């Protein structure tokens, strides 16, 4: 099974999760600025909410790489929202890309909110989620 990991982050929180997934799967995590050069069965895609939507960079990445994506599995952080699944489903549907129902999401620090997150427990949970997903 071919796996790739991409992420978009402004604060570094989602990149931190991407590194935990990278460590457990042995697959290099890269920014969405790096395109997919071959077809992958599973794309772990990390993002967060910004103004109640996912960033345009994530949307553009999906659109530009749709022919190389088998299925997207989302992971991410947010200070206020509990999931990115709803906006990602909309983006993936428009691009004709399959989105997994499974998602890993945790709190991310933002200003005074959720200081220290993602923490070690969040990172262990992200790694366990990734490992279970590819089993």
pLDDT of residue 115: 66
Spatial CB neighbours of 132, under 8 Å, sequence gap ≥ 6: none
Give the per-residue pLDDT at 81.
Answer: 67
Instruction: Kindly give the confidence (pLDDT) of every residue in the chain, 135 residues in length, as a single tens digit, with 9 standing for 90 and above.
Output: 999 999 998 877 899 999 999 999 999 999 999 999 999 999 999 987 666 678 899 999 999 999 999 999 999 887 566 777 888 899 999 999 999 999 998 776 555 555 656 889 999 999 999 999 998
Residue 52, pLDDT score: 66
Residue 74, SS3? strand
Range 84-90, long-range pairs (CB < 8 A, 24+ positions): 84/47, 84/48, 84/49, 84/54, 87/49, 87/52, 87/53, 87/54, 88/45, 88/47, 88/54
Whole-prediction pTM value? 0.89
Counting the structural domains of the chain, the total is: 1
| CATH number reported for the structural domain that contains residue 79 in this entry | 3.40.50.360
Instruction: Domain of residue 9: give its range.
Output: 3-134
């Amino acid at each position: 099974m071919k796996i790739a990991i991409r992420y978009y982050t402004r604060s570094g929180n989602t990149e931190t999760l991407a590194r935990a997934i990278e460590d457990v799967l042995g697959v290099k995590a890269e920014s969405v600025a790096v395109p997919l050069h071959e077809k992958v069965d599973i794309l772990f895609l990390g993002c967060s909410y910004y103004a109640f939507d996912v960033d345009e960079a994530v949307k553009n990445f999906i659109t530009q790489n749709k022919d190389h994506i088998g299925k997207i599995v989302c992971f991410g952080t947010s200070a206020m929202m509990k999931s990115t699944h709803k906006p990602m489903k909309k983006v993936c549907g428009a691009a004709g890309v399959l989105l997994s129902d499974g998602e890993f999401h945790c709190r991310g620090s933002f200003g005074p909110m959720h200081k220290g997150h993602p923490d070690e427990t969040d990172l262990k949970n992200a790694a366990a989620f990734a490992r279970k997903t590819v089993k």
